[in-house]
């Protein structure tokens, strides 16, 4: 699956905040939208998902114009803050039941996806959402967003606020999920998810440039002004010379 941007300009009123974006997001690899705070990452994601409509250009899903009509999942920053059910099982099943899924089937699929995000249904299915840790809430929220298996998954800073172990665990799940879905992730901390074959759209100064993960890493390593990746990551062996 491919989600293609063609000559996208994004506006706020009469102001262009992103201009002439051309990029292809695709399944089989992690797709990252990277940039410093305030560069327009979240606004781009909102435009892709239909919540921000003040833009021009075209968005294609494979060979058809993309219409965001339930064929995608979007998780905002800190999605666990949007919980409105008392127990995690009801929260995870809500999207399926809203689409008319039978209760038993919804529960079966919900438990499978909860497990996929690293939470045992035997332990967490009936647990109050108020009793979950921050990492458990994040996993449950992401299960809620992906349980109906949309082909396109868009996530805004899914690793924000998690400790190192939590980031690493969710990063592994997201990499696995990207093999069968088109996963587009906004982040200003790409080091957890960046791999040699990652697909990076780098936003700065109102425009966007496309890189492989390796090319992005090499530029950041050779020029500290390009993008501030942590020193521990720049000296790591993830990208062999």
- pLDDT confidence of 21, banded at 50, 70, 90? very high
> Beta 152-156 vs 72-75: how paired, if at all?
parallel
- pLDDT confidence of 225, banded at 50, 70, 90? very high
Contacts by residues 36-40 (CB-CB < 8 Å, ≥ 24 positions apart): 36/188, 36/204, 36/227, 37/188, 39/203, 39/204, 40/10, 40/203, 40/206
Q: Which two tokens stand for residue 54?
A: 């003040």
Digit-coded pLDDT (tens) for 43-97: 999 999 989 999 999 999 998 998 877 678 888 877 677 788 889 999 999 989 9
The enclosing H or E element of 187 equals strand 182-187
Residue 18 has pLDDT above 90, yes or no: yes
**Which pLDDT does position 20 carry in this prediction?**
97
Digit-coded pLDDT (tens) for 87-145: 999 999 998 998 899 999 999 999 999 998 989 999 999 999 999 988 888 889 889 98
DSSP state letter for 18? E
Cα separation, 212 vs 210, whole angstroms? 7
Q: Are 163 and 114 in contact (CB under 8 A)?
A: no
Cα separation, 15 vs 28, whole angstroms? 35
Tell me the CA end-to-end span of the chain in Å, nearest whole number: 31
DSSP state letter for 66? -
- The predicted model gives 10-26 an average pLDDT of 95
């Amino acid at each position: 699956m491919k989600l293609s941007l063609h000559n996208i300009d994004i506006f706020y009123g009469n102001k262009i905040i992103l201009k002439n974006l051309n990029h292809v997001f695709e399944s089989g690899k992690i797709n990252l939208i990277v940039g410093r705070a305030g560069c327009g990452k979240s606004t781009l994601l909102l435009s892709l998902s239909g919540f921000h409509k003040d833009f021009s250009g075209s968005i294609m899903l494979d060979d058809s114009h993309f219409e965001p009509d339930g064929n995608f999942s979007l998780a905002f920053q800190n999605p666990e803050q949007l919980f409105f059910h008392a127990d995690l099982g009801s929260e995870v099943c809500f999207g399926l039941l809203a689409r008319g899924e039978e209760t038993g089937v919804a529960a079966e699929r919900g438990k499978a996806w909860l497990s996929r995000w690293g939470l045992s249904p035997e332990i967490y299915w009936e647990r109050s959402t108020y009793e979950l840790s921050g990492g458990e809430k994040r996993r449950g929220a992401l299960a809620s967003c992906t349980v109906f298996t949309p082909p396109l998954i868009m996530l805004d800073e899914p690793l924000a606020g998690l400790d190192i172990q939590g980031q690493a665990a969710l990063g592994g799940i997201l990499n696995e999920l990207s093999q069968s879905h088109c996963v587009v992730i906004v982040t200003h901390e790409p080091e957890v998810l960046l791999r040699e074959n990652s697909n990076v759209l780098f936003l700065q100064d109102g425009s966007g440039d496309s890189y492989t993960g390796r090319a992005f890493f090499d530029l950041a390593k050779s020029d500290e002004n390009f993008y501030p990746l942590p020193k521990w990551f720049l000296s790591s062996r993830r990208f062999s010379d």
